[in-house]
Amino acid sequence: MPALVNYGGDDECYPGGSFYSSPMDLDGLLPTSSHVDLYFRPSKRARIGASVVFRGREFEQEFKQSIDVLPDECLFEIFRHLDSARERSSCAGVSKRWLMLLSTIRKDEICKSRITSTVRIVEQSKPESDREDESNGFLTRCLEGKKATDVRLAAIAVGTSGCGGLGKLSIRGSNLTRGVTDLGLSAIANGCPSLRMLSLWNVSLVGDEGLFKIARECRLLEKLDLCHCPSISDKGLIAIAERCTNLTSLSIESCPKIGNEGLQAIGKLCSKLQTISIRDCPRVGDQGVSSLFASSSCAITKVKIQALNITDFSLAVIGHYGQAITHLTLSGLQNVSEKGFWVMGSARGLKKLSLLTIASCRGMTDVSLEAIGKGIANLKQMCIQKCCFVSDIGLTAFARAAGSLETLQLEECNRITLLGVGGALSNHIRNVKSLTLVKCMGIKDIAQEVTLPSPCTSLRSLSIQNCPGFGSASLSMVGKLCPQLQHVELIGLYGITDASMLPLLETCEGLLKVNLSGCINLTDETISTLVRLHGGTLEVLNLDSCRKITDASLVAIADACLLLNELDVSKCAITDAGLAVLSSSEQINLQVLSLSGCSEVSNKSFPFLERLGKSLLGLNLKNCHSIGSGMVGMIVENLWRCDILV
């Protein structure tokens, strides 16, 4: 195992009773990646105690590895008297027994011998990378799937102590046969007191005992992330709360044994907590959630509460005591009624709240939305998703009250219509800069003539995505309402045509970013008008899946676009001839080009791509089936500065 054991030849042996017949079999035990956690010095010849038996001219020597007969207690005492982390790492590579034994030694159990002044001078003269620094926690390790085992955790615990100390550990999934258990987490606790971030995802065999050890040894822990950990209960969380008082971030998801008691301990003891996220924990109720915010010294600024069995009481507590909260997400709260949201807004305690997201909550109605607008004075970003009882009436009332609002996102709010959005924009929201509408079935063309409200001069960014009813009439109305747009996203809108795009393009003064992906009825005529009117300012253009866009658009772009950085013509009718024209332009300085799914782009485009590659940082050639594998290799070799997707 080259990365872990310096195997010197047949004349060297490795005592210690390895559980494999050959030391080289340890390749299946420890990681063999280029990043090595354990350091190994050249091994010395083993000291052998043997009895010799003469039988005629022949004699027989019975080998007995003397150190292997020592009990664990003796080996433990020997190992803890090794001053150097490198020496301990070398010993860890001898056998699994030695590795696991070394992983049980805590930092404060290692005996430091007296160091003379001469040794100090020698140590100081060493390169900085060779010195032991066991407290800073510079290193990050992530184990996923089959690589997540107790043995690997033990190797990390022993090996990182002399290389800056382990600061962040993430475990994603677990080995099906030799998965991570409390033993592996205990090894990390013993060897890595500098640990500041621990993330456990889908680790079913780790329970409270592992967290007990982390709590006892890793007092510097600041961030804890528990997701799908069915064996961890309130007891483990209470231990963390009692000993890890520096905790600033806690995330708990789908942990069925964690409930109110654990959160109450966190709220009482972790005064530095700033970020809390709780999702899909059936035992968590009002007592647990409210205890996090009831303290007058609560410093929590970012809160996510999703799919919990809480009621109006919890939202009332948040509304009264969440004075430090700046970001709040409430999702899937089926037991919270209109009254809960109304009280949260009317309590006027969310004085610093600037970003609010409410999703899939039946209690979010027109009445509660208006109360939120009136009670949260500094609200700047509002996102409402899948709230079926919010209509134009509530949106207009909210817009009238929310004077500081800058960003509004509405997703799957099917009672919202274009009239409600237009009225809110033009008459009430004075500072709004960004509007996003996603899958809102009520956003559709209006048959009858309507009196258009006054334009909204503050809006700079408009995104309308997958609203099937949004057609030519709607786009014409939007163009007249929003004359100062700089960023436009019209995604998956089958109803808009070249004629309907003209008023929007003529009204806007200088577009910077335009995304028309999935608008299958747009042709080269729209692109020609776009670059003629905005070619001097346009920086990003996305035409993904606009199948009627041809080489004519590339010719127009090459002639008129002076500042274009990113161009996406994936799944368009682009050919080699269009790329030839684009590459010949002296003013084009593209950094990102996407040609994914352009079946007419072939090997003939190599010189054109090479010319464009002088400025490119990213190139997407996925599903360009007319480009052969050999040509792809040449492109990758010649455009070595560019990130290429093939």
pLDDT higher than 50, residue 74: yes
Residue 353: partners with Cβ closer than 8 Å, 6 or more residues away: 322, 325, 326, 327, 328, 376, 378, 379
| pLDDT per residue as tens digits for the range 198-215 | 999 999 999 999 999 999
Lookup: tokens for 156: 């990390």
**Residue that wins the pLDDT comparison between 330 and 75:** 330
What DSSP state is assigned to residue 66? Answer: G
Q: What does the pLDDT average to over 518-524?
A: 95
pLDDT higher than 70, residue 302: yes
CA R_g for the chain:
33
- How far apart are alpha carbons 49 and 69 in whole angstroms? 11
Asked if residue 534 belongs to a domain, the reply is: yes
pLDDT higher than 80, residue 64: no
Lookup: tokens for 415: 């009672």
Percent helix, strand, coil in the chain (nearest 5)? 35, 15, 45
Q: Shortest CA distance to 360 belongs to which of 418, 411, 292, 429?
A: 411
Q: Phi/psi at 399 (nearest 5 deg)?
A: -65, -35
Residue 45: partners with Cβ closer than 8 Å, 6 or more residues away: 11, 12, 13
Name the band, by pLDDT with cuts 50, 70 and 90, for residue 162: low
Give me the half-sphere count of Cα atoms (radius 13 Å) on the Cβ side of residue 139.
23
- How far apart are alpha carbons 174 and 183 in whole angstroms? 14
Name the band, by pLDDT with cuts 50, 70 and 90, for residue 80: confident
Of the segments 69-83, 429-443, 591-605, which one has the largest average pLDDT value?
591-605
| Residue span of the structural domain in which 537 resides | 510-646
What local confidence, expressed as pLDDT, does residue 61 receive?
52
Number of folded domains in the chain?
A: 1
Asked if residue 37 belongs to a domain, the reply is: no
What local confidence, expressed as pLDDT, does residue 66 receive?
59
Give me the half-sphere count of Cα atoms (radius 13 Å) on the Cβ side of residue 179.
17
Torsion (CA) 359, 363, 364, 367 in degrees, nearest 10: -170
Q: What does the pLDDT average to over 140-146?
A: 91
What DSSP state is assigned to residue 410? Answer: E
Query: CATH number of the domain that 599 lies in?
Result: 3.80.10.10
- How far apart are alpha carbons 590 and 607 in whole angstroms? 16
Asked if residue 598 belongs to a domain, the reply is: yes
**Residue that wins the pLDDT comparison between 419 and 376:** 376
Q: What does the pLDDT average to over 238-260?
A: 96
- How far apart are alpha carbons 99 and 28 in whole angstroms? 14
pLDDT higher than 60, residue 641: yes
Alpha helix stretches (DSSP H) within 376-409: 392-401
Q: What does the pLDDT average to over 301-326?
A: 96
pLDDT higher than 90, residue 49: no
Tell me the pTM: 0.82
- How far apart are alpha carbons 614 and 211 in whole angstroms? 53
For residue 307, what are the CA distances in angstroms to 212, 282, 333, 335, 488?
28, 8, 6, 10, 34
What local confidence, expressed as pLDDT, does residue 50 receive?
47
pLDDT higher than 60, residue 51: no
Give me the half-sphere count of Cα atoms (radius 13 Å) on the Cβ side of residue 242.
15
SS3 500: helix
Q: What does the pLDDT average to over 551-578?
A: 96
Name the band, by pLDDT with cuts 50, 70 and 90, for residue 77: confident
Asked if residue 566 belongs to a domain, the reply is: yes
Residue 177: Cβ-neighbour burial (10 angstroms; 0-12, 13-18, 19+)? exposed
Q: Shortest CA distance to 203 belongs to which of 149, 259, 244?
A: 149
What local confidence, expressed as pLDDT, does residue 46 receive?
45
Q: Shortest CA distance to 320 belongs to which of 295, 285, 338?
A: 295
Q: Which of 156-165, 465-474, 515-524 has the lowest mean pLDDT?
A: 156-165
Asked if residue 524 belongs to a domain, the reply is: yes
Q: Parallel, antiparallel, or unpaired for β 327-331 and 434-438?
A: unpaired
pLDDT higher than 70, residue 112: no
Q: What does the pLDDT average to over 478-495?
A: 91
| pLDDT per residue as tens digits for the range 609-618 | 999 999 999 9
Percent of the chain with pLDDT over 70: 82
Q: What does the pLDDT average to over 49-61?
A: 49
What DSSP state is assigned to residue 175? Answer: -
